[in-house]
Structure 1
Amino acid sequence: MNVRRLIPTAALAGAVALGATALTACSGAAAGTGGGKDGKVGVTASFYPMAFLAEQIGKDHVKVDSLTKPGVEPHDLEITPRQTGQLGEADVVLYLKGLQPAVDKAVSLSGVKNVVDASTLTELEVHGSSGHDHGAEGHTEGGGEGEGHDHGHEHGEAGRDPHVWLDPAKYAEIAKGVGAALEKADPDHAADYKKNTDELVGKLTALDTEFKDGLKNTASRTFITTHSAFGYLAERYGLDQEAISGVDPESEPSPARMKELQGLAKQENVSTVFFETLASDKTARTLAADTGLKTDVLDPLEGITDKSQGADYFEVMRSNLKNLQKALGAK
């Protein structure tokens, strides 16, 4: 069992102000070259969760391009020199530092001034690599380091877990920061950005309530998944995440880890091994076959494809909730 540690970050208000200040150079909808000839604010997003925020908040006032195309596993993304050069043409670059090393490097090399780093808009946590990601409701038992599940691959900077969008409450904090930044970037439409941000935050708050109510009473609190993307979700709703791999969904678990998970599945009344849409399901299905468990999808929402269980963030998150309720025996 692990002990989670909070990594101090700047206060949310200060982070938002800093992000917004960084964007003042592109005030006016046609400030840069990234928006094309239609006068819209050109936003380059690193991957789907960032692009979704820009689209929901910016709507008709922005043109959003994503560096990570549908079907591409974000952790594996490689950036070409041409893409790095194109970053400098965007009015706004929205990314999450610590998730995609190639994007982090490209942003630093591109000379982009108008950058919003989503990791500064909420408090990131360290979710330990040795077992349970215990929920916030009293599940904070200590433990040793044990056998690491990240296989030498740390989350983000200083071990911080970047998968914050899977916690609707934290995603809402990021949405507020993005909204404030767009208001500064395009003051002529500030009222629209504010209205759209408020609407989005309201929807995320309602989703948070759905998860709290839907996972309040379950037969089991433990779920096994392909890679450790669900630490924030587990913590928010009092669940225990057990990942086959670490942050890299393609890494191979050790035989000892597979044996450990087999024992844990019996001990914790686990019924299902979850896999995801953008990574191989081989190890998940192998574990399920060895333990007589079912398999199902728990989508880390790093991209939307025609295989996704929903057309956007909210639909896929609700599919995740339904699948968790079924696997955990929600009452």
Structure 2
Amino acid sequence: MMRRPLVPLLVLAVLAALAGCGGRANPDGRLPVVAAFYPLQFVSERIGGDLVRVVNLTKPGAEPHDVELSPRQVARISDAKVAVHLRGFQPAVDDAIEQNARRQGFDVSSAVTMLPSSEHGTDPHVWLDPTRLAAIGDRLAERLAAADPAHAAVYTSRAATLHQQLTQLDGEFSAKLATCSRRELVTSHTAFHYLTDRYHLTQIGITGIDPEAEPAPRRIAEVAADARRLGTTTIFFETLVSPKVADTIAREVGATTAVLDPLEGLTDPDADYFSVMRANLAALTTALGCT
């Protein structure tokens, strides 16, 4: 009597076990998710909680615009059940998802109305408007539920909680920025269009969307002249960008400098989206003379 090979039987048993787990690829049973950079990691973890294992493709403290992926990171994208990204912000991530996880990709720009940019077509910094981030969270919950139907109600409930928290944050910004003696903020690069659009402020950027671009001397002189004319007391720079140019303009016009964080990546392990946004709000109310 011929015996059936043992190895194929074992393979079938493993495949059956995986099917019974809803296709979850992690040994601990959690849904594998990749997030392109910090704000997308934040919403993924808030909504997924203990049901997901989120891998951030941008290292903490790294500039996300020009991220390059390792073979291991590309493999993570290939294995992910949901790959959360912002099309056009990180070309290497876009390409890797297109080639390895097209069906699993979730482009968050599809969930909201994006603001225009003369440099890149649209401004990518959508997460700096809490109401837009709330809308992204709602859509992400739908994608997680589709990948893991057994826990759909949990994802929906967590997204509703996050939406409520972001709505509260939006209310704090609206109330504290409603009555300011100045409404113009000078920033090292124009990362804050969504924030200024939402709260009726005006952004004056030393450089454009690319934080690594070097401003021309003529542009530095123009910004300094605007700062003097407007009575600007604070020149803002960012955590991941050198403050050198901001310091130069501040000295020239007799202003101080302060951090305004675009939240592209965290440097403080104890911080999160909410704490950084509230620190931004405190810096703005001081700089703009809000009562």
Task: Give the structure with higher Rg (CA).
Answer: 2
Alignment of 1:65-214 (within 5 A): 65-128=55-118, 154-155=119-120, 159-214=121-176
- State yes or no: 1:327 paired with 2:280: no
Q: Cα offset for 1:127?
A: 4.0
What is the DSSP-based 3-state SS (H/G/I as helix, E as strand, rest coil) of the residue aligned with 1:38?
coil
Q: Deviations over 1:64-122 (max 9, x none)?
A: 00000101000121123442233111111001111112211222222442111001010
Q: Name the CA shift for 1:232/1:29 in 2 (closer, same or farther; >3 Å).
A: farther
Match of 1:225, SS? strand
1:47 aligns with 2:7: no
Kept in 2: contact 1:87–1:112 (CA 8 A): no
Ranked by relative contact order (alpha carbons within 8 Å, sequence separation 6 or more), the top structure is: 1
| 1:31 counterpart (23, 28, 31) | 23
Equivalents in 2 of 1:325, 1:62: separation in Å? Answer: 37
Give the partner amino acid of 1:321. L
Q: Structure 2 CA distance, aligned partners of 1:65 and 1:248?
A: 25
Q: Relative to 1, partners in 2 of residues 1:250 and 1:264: Cα closer, same or farther, differing over 3 Å?
A: same
Query: What secondary structure sits across from 2:257 in the alignment?
Result: strand
Structure 1 residue 244 displacement after superposition = 1.0
Residue identity (%): 46
Question: Counterparts in 2 of 1:167-316, with a 5 A limit?
Answer: 167-306=129-268, 311-316=271-276
> Cα–Cα, structure 1 residues 29 and 174, in superposed 2: closer, same or farther, change >3 Å?
farther
One-letter code of the match for 1:86? R
Q: Which residue matches 1:318?
A: 278
Query: Structure 2: how far apart are the matches of 1:66 and 1:259?
Result: 39
Describe the shift of the 1:240–1:27 C-alpha distance in structure 2 as closer, same or farther (beyond 3 A): farther
Deviation readout 1:178-228 (Å, 9 max, x if unpaired): 011111111111111111000000000000010000100001000011111
Q: Name the SS for the 2:97 alignment partner.
A: helix
Return the structure number with greater helix share.
2
Q: Secondary structure at the match of 1:226?
A: strand
CA shift for structure 1 position 28: 8.1
- Aligned partners of 2:128 and 2:262 also within 8 Å: yes
**Match for 1:281: what amino acid?**
P
User: Is the 2:31–2:51 contact (alpha carbons within 8 Å) kept by the matching residues of 1?
Assistant: yes
Distance 1:56 1:66 in 2: 14
**CA deviation profile, 1:140-196 (whole Å, cap 9, x unmatched):** xxxxxxxxxxxxxx23xxx10111000001111111110111111111111111110
AA aligned opposite 1:161 = D
Distance 1:269 1:76 in 2: 35
Counterpart secondary structure, 1:277: coil
RMSD, aligned α-carbons: 1.7
| Cα gap change, 1:175 to 1:260, in 2 (>3 Å) | same
TM-score, with normalisation over the residues of structure 1? Answer: 0.79
**Measured at CA, do residues 27 and 187 of structure 1 come closer, stay the same or move farther in structure 2, by a change above 3 Å?**
farther
